[in-house]
């Protein structure tokens, strides 16, 4: 119980601190560029036109809504974090109890470094994460829609309970799970890539003496690479969560009414936008688009 409480407190603190970053990222993901590109230098010192980064974008939001404006959608996100932590912990606890019973009934103790053990642990973690995502996705949808309201200055989604009523009246139960499939797929693929690649690195690429010291580093590196590879799933999920929901940010000129998440993926691929919002620094104007074109398109 104490562990769950500490996890909730830590998770809530991290959520509050990271919320402005997620807010800016979401607005960039839907294609909202309220500030003109500026001439800057890339990592190699070459002059290029750059779109505003995290801090410039956040400053723009503050100039309109004040500092508290950076925390739109925080309440439903905190709800999602709290409920998700409890569900995730409960599912894993059930698996731990089951594993203990299996160990008592077996003479052989499973090798924690074996591939079978990694597959078993990853499968259990996948189920726990998927259960938490499924339960909390309605809060995630509300969070994103509260954020996107900044674009059209709407107040349609106001508060958790008011948003629940609005979504149910307009879209029914399915409205609470808009964008769920690509989100689940991205989480599952990322988890398996991270754990399996880390296993093979620790087992075959590192010497036995270095495994314990380097294990955490290899896990972090593979986690980062996995998140990069599966980012398009995150983007498509977020776009589908706000698509055609009655907000300016989910309608043209930002996005057409996608028929499905695969249709959204296909159109983003054709436009070369599957990584939009992945980086909030050194954001160059898309290739082939001049500064004047960017002005016409974005502003």
pLDDT at 295: 41
pLDDT tens digits along 71-106: 999 999 999 999 999 999 999 999 988 888 877 766
Say if 180 falls within a structural domain.
yes
- The domain of 238 spans 2-36+52-285
pLDDT at 292: 36
The number of folded domains in the chain is: 1
Cα→Cα distances 77→63, 81, 126, 142, 272, Å: 24, 6, 21, 8, 30
Helices and strands (H and E) in the chain: how many: 10, 3
Q: What is the mean pLDDT of residues 231-246?
A: 96
Between residues 190 and 97, the one the model is more confident about? 190
Report strand pairing: 47-51 vs 283-284: antiparallel
Say if 118 falls within a structural domain.
yes
Say if 294 falls within a structural domain.
no
Say if 298 falls within a structural domain.
no
pLDDT tens digits along 249-293: 999 888 889 999 999 999 999 988 999 999 888 887 765 444 333
CA distance 71 to 55: 15
Q: Is the pLDDT of residue 296 over 50?
A: no
Environment class of residue 28 by beta-carbon count within 10 Å: exposed (0-12), middle (13-18) or buried (19+)? buried
Say if 291 falls within a structural domain.
no
Q: Could you tell me the CATH number of the domain that includes residue 243? A: 1.50.40.10
Q: What is the mean pLDDT of residues 114-120?
A: 88
SS (H, E, C) 56-90: HHHHHHHHHHCHHHHHCCHHHHHHHHHHHHHHHHH
Say if 42 falls within a structural domain.
no
Say if 223 falls within a structural domain.
yes
Q: Which helix (H) or strand (E) holds 51?
A: strand 47-51
Between residues 226 and 114, the one the model is more confident about? 226
Say if 126 falls within a structural domain.
yes
Q: Is the pLDDT of residue 112 over 70?
A: no
Q: Is the pLDDT of residue 114 over 70?
A: yes
Confidence of residue 294 (pLDDT cuts 50, 70, 90): very low
Residues in CB range of 165: below 8 A, 6 or more apart: none
pLDDT at 293: 36
CA distance 194 to 210: 19
Mean pLDDT of the chain: 87
């Amino acid at each position: 119980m104490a562990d769950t409480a500490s996890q909730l407190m830590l998770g809530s603190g991290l959520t509050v601190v990271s919320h402005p970053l997620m807010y800016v990222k979401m607005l960039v993901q839907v294609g909202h560029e309220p500030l003109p590109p500026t001439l800057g230098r890339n990592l190699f010192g070459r002059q290029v036109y750059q779109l505003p980064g995290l801090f410039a974008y956040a400053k723009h939001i503050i100039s309109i809504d004040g500092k508290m404006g950076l925390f739109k959608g925080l309440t439903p996100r905190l709800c999602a974090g709290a409920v998700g932590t409890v569900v995730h912990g409960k599912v894993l606890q059930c698996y731990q109890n089951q594993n203990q019973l299996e160990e008592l009934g077996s003479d052989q103790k499973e090798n924690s470094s074996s591939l079978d053990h990694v597959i078993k642990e990853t499968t259990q973690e996948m189920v726990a994460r998927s259960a938490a995502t499924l339960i909390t996705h309605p809060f995630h949808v509300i969070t994103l829609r509260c954020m996107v309201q900044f674009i059209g200055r709407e107040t349609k989604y106001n508060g958790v309970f008011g948003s629940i009523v609005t979504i149910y009246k307009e879209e029914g139960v399915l409205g609470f799970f808009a964008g769920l499939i690509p989100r689940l797929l991205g989480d599952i693929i990322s988890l398996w890539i991270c754990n399996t690649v880390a296993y093979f690195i620790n087992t075959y690429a590192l010497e036995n003496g270095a495994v314990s010291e380097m294990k955490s580093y290899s896990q972090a590196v593979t986690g980062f690479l996995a998140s990069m590879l599966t980012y398009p799933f995150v983007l498509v999920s977020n776009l589908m969560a706000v698509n055609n929901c009655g907000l300016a940010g989910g309608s043209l000129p930002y996005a057409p009414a996608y028929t499905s998440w695969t249709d959204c993926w296909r159109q983003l691929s054709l436009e070369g936008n599957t990584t939009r919002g992945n980086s909030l620094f050194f954001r160059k104007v898309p290739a082939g688009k001049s500064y004047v074109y960017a002005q016409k398109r974005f502003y």
